[in-house]
Amino acid sequence: MEHTETQTAAPVFRILFVDDEAPILSSLRRMMRKQDYDCYFAQNAREGLSILETHNIDLIISDMRMPEMDGAAFLAEVKRRWPFSVRFLLTGHADMNAAIDALNLGGINRYISKPWDETALLEAIDEGLRIRRLEREKKRLIDKTREQNRSLQQLNDELESRVEARTAEVRKKSAMVKKAFGQLQRSYDSFVRVFSSVISSRPQLIKGQSRLVADLARDIATQLELETAQVTYIYYAGLMHELGKLNLPDDLLLRSEVHLTHRDWETYHKYPEMGETFLSSIPALAYSGTLIRQHNESFDGGGYPDGLKGEHIELGARILRVARDFVGLQSGLIRAEPLSPDEAYAHINERAGRDYDPSVVEQLKPFIHSLTIDRIQSHERQVGVIELVPGMTLTRDLVNRTGILLMAAGGQLSETIIDKLVQMERIEGRKLSVYVTQTENEEG
């Protein structure tokens, strides 16, 4: 029994050569001397089995004709006891039928004819060991995976212990935290509601109906199944969407948007930006400020102040635009003559895809008749021309049948103006409705 080892410190593979002819073993030893393998040599099957019992051999090359046990029987025994080894049979032409039988029975992986070509034999060895390389890599990966799993399991056990300890600590504080968060949330709610009331208390902003806009926007957002926090931000934005108008002049706010002049619009367009600016210093309301800035943007990009388009407009702002206009069309904010709920929805639906997000308009349907908009505000009353007296002040724009502005909101009636309105009623053949408030002198 002979063994030669290459100069490498850690041979990658072990190969066993078995042949009863010494010259053939010597030839094989010379061939393998320059190869990076750990090679073993045995002169018969018994010695070969002894080496296999003490060493992990990857590939066995055995001669066919040997005393006591031929190569086919030897390799069949090797397959039975070491099934993962690679097995080659060296055979001459006279033994070809026996070699084929051994191949068919599964004892060998391939046979090599004598005399062999050295290059071809080395290539065959390399090809045979490729299987062993794959098996070794597979085993390495499996072992690595198992080790990683063990490490992960250990880490998981440690984390579970930490989590349990932390959970016990958190549970002690959870009631306090929950209570504090609830108080904070209620504080913001109260602040926003009070702030909204201050905004709405300005008579010129009564048409904006901020509370109704906020309620409707919240209902639409809830129907869209948005997260609770997002619904809250949208609701806050609805309550404060007219915040920026506090800086605008009264005479501009008294008129419906349809009657604003080009110069008016230059000023009016700034109110969404001003609203955002007012809230920018309050981090918890910053997102609501963003929605306020964008709530007059149009779905097709034709809105203001930034000309945003489609999905570039926050969904909350698209919701707020629909809610704001649905209410505003019925309150006199957008048109001098308020529309009915069905007319307001038809107006919005006709402009879906242009001014409004079609998916949001679709969500408006269930709420068409759920809002109660008080068209007569506490500071005004609706009267006929015959009831007008000098000194009354218009609370809304007065327009004729064709939409021409006859007198802007805020104007004070005189006898001359009242006479002209009486004549106009006769000419148009219809009764005019006038919204007025009385001056202090008249009330006295």
Amino acid 251: pLDDT: 76
Architecture of domain 203-367: Orthogonal Bundle (1.10)
Amino acid 183: pLDDT: 46
Give per-residue pLDDT as tens, 390-401: 988 887 767 666
Confidence of residue 441 (pLDDT cuts 50, 70, 90): very low
- More confident site: 257 or 26: 26
Give per-residue pLDDT as tens, 128-177: 888 778 877 888 888 888 888 887 788 777 777 777 777 666 566 544 44
Quote the percentage of the chain above a pLDDT of 70.
80
Q: Do domains 2-116 and 203-367 have the same CATH topology?
A: no
Give the least confident one: 17-31, 111-125, 242-256.
242-256
Q: Where are the domains of the chain?
A: 2-116, 203-367, 381-443
Confidence of residue 442 (pLDDT cuts 50, 70, 90): very low
- More confident site: 370 or 362: 362
Give per-residue pLDDT as tens, 179-232: 444 444 555 566 666 656 656 556 656 665 888 899 999 999 999 999 998 999
- More confident site: 259 or 355: 355
Amino acid 3: pLDDT: 65
**Cα-flanking dihedrals φ and ψ of residue 364, to 5°?**
-75, -25
> Over 60: is that where the pLDDT of 41 sits?
yes
Amino acid 9: pLDDT: 47
Predicted model pTM: 0.49
Give the least confident one: 158-172, 212-226, 293-307, 407-421.
158-172
Q: What CATH code is assigned to 381-443?
A: 3.90.105
Q: If you average pLDDT over every residue of the chain, what do you get?
A: 82
Q: Domain 2-116: which CATH class?
A: alpha beta
> Over 60: is that where the pLDDT of 63 sits?
yes
- More confident site: 436 or 190: 436
Amino acid 23: pLDDT: 92
Amino acid 97: pLDDT: 67
Amino acid 378: pLDDT: 65
Amino acid 443: pLDDT: 44
Residue 252 · residue 267 · CB < 8 Å? yes
